[in-house]
Structure 1
Amino acid sequence: MRPIIKKVATLFLVLALVTGGMAAFAGTAAADTTTLAGDGTDTVTGFNASSSDYIERSINADDGTNGFDGDGTETLFMNVSYDGHDYAEISAAVDDGTATSQTVNMSHDKLKKLPGDAGKVTTVNVTTWGENASGDTTTAATEFSVDITFADDHAVRTIHSSNNSIVENIELSDDDDDGWVASLSSLNPLSSSDELVTIEDDVGIAGSQTDIKVYSEDSDVTEVIDNQLEDSEDGDRVGMFMTSEVGDGIVYVFANEPGETITGDEVDEDKDTYIVAHEGGQMDVNLGSDDFDDTDETASLSLTAGEKFDRKALQDDLGYSWRQAYGLSFDTFSLSDLWPF
């Protein structure tokens, strides 16, 4: 190969490597780590429970001369709480006993159930401390507040008790109510199940870009939600959820993953508003641009599990025909269409 051709070939190779590397870098979101000073002025921005983002805090040994060995600390802890509830706690073994400080970090996804509205601040309490092998506190606890600003695409509600203010109603099944009475009730196509929960709240959003997560940490609420899903396959429309409303009308509710509308079309994540219910008491609310625009700042939720669907609402809000609305199986909680049209 002639020298001039070699130079040109080398130049193209270098350019390919450089531009290829730049493209790869551009396609990867950079991790964001917020170092906490612990003086009450700390802020975290753009929070959306990403596993790639972190908060970190340097924990100082009580013995400033001999380090963690001096006070016997073997494990360091960081806890994040809000409104009296713990949302995340991590621990890390002391790397170097002679060190007088060590940094611990927590990924944002550990805080996925932290409540908050899109674009708004949730102020949490952070506590750090150290313990010896016996579990005694040997590095004194330090507490401070941190302001966490939610990203525009993220909003969360978490239920810790059936007495929570957003639990509008809960009815639990009576295990003693069985036999022929229960049998007659189960055959009644107009009845609801013998258990029900309704969750209502206004959630701060930034238009349709906001994804809303609703979590239950209460065993009673979780049980009611899970029981309505037990006969459903992934993607099924779940009848015992479909009196749930987002905004001005009822919406499709699917089991575990988005599915098809009554017309057989897959829901459109960008345009359609719908709910995906998961076992374990989680409900994901997808806001569609057909119902919410960029100026909308609030989404009114009324999420109900355990109540029979309303046929007229299915026709008015979800496009069911008369036959489709009245041709539903009553022997399962899933919407099994008896007619293919």
Structure 2
Amino acid sequence: MKCLGNMERLHIPNDLMMQLFRLYEMKGQSYYYKALFSRDDEVMARTTLELDTQALAYFLKLSLTPARIKLLSDPKKDFVPKNRDEILLNNIKDILLRIQSLSDTFDLTTNEVKDLTLTLFRGYDDIRLIKDPKAKIDRLAKSFDELSPEDKLKKIIDQFHYHRRNNKYEIVQIMTNFYIDLVKLNLFTDKSDLIGLIVVYTLAAKYFKVCRYDSFFQALLPLQEQFGSAFIQASYNWSEGFSQTEAIQRIFVNILETLHKNVEVKAHEYEFERKMNKTNSIEGTILTGPATFSKKDIRNKHPYASDATINRTLMSLKERGVIRPLGSGRTAQWLRVAEKLEKFNPQQLDLFNHAD
């Protein structure tokens, strides 16, 4: 409890404070996004789950090929893992799915963290809270250091809720200090860093709803080296209660700001797509894009269009002689036979010409 117990010494620099103002202004759009995306909420959440799983595989440097990572990350497919890294990735996908489903009702408790740990490492390794026979029970311990790992976990969770209820500190600042304490205390037999990261993501998903519509870990991945350096910086003087957590807090704020900006763009695109006929929109993409393309290219451009709509559009264009298939199967390509922009023949409207 070295960080959470000494938060009164922390201050937020002016530039970070201004960034937090912007973040909370964007956060106010959350209910609008929820209403806007309601029709395709599950599709968007599934895409986010897939991207988060892939990003975590690269973040953890799992010994898997990109093709295998992509395959195992697909929420619509269930594969039997072949090795320990695949077991871990499959468990991560399961955990992220649970977080998506329950983030609104999630309450940070000791049992939740213990259950998360068991699920995360199920079939991978026996990782759990350390049992310290020398530790004293809570009512007999004279100091925090004398407590058992489970009691220490309970203490920092209680401290998190205490700060949250008092509204004296900003939530990302509380989450950051909780994360540093959770990892630095080494309460688990192994992988405390991964457990801490998943727990702090769960909190981010609870308090910032955009985590459902854009990938938190994909935004973190390019900052991995910076994140590691910020954690090392926060580790200095941690045991004395003078941890420097500002750098790692900035990273969390940057990630959340990136997510809000990305979702804002998605909202504009989604609203445009919603007002258009999806078939016409897909046809426009085909007629204005590269001459050779795949179904995957179309799906990337139109993530909210169903497979049935994409297939129906492709068949319609094929029958009209606009496109023709190149090969068959999942990797099949299509070739646009018609000239680019053939369908679109814009003409200038001469509004003021009244000549006969």
Range of TM-score over shorter length: under 0.3
TM-score normalised by structure 1 residue count: 0.27
Between 1 and 2, higher relative CO (CA 8 Å, sep ≥ 6) is seen in: 2
Q: Which has the larger radius of gyration?
A: 1
Q: Per residue, is there more helix in 1 or in 2?
A: 2
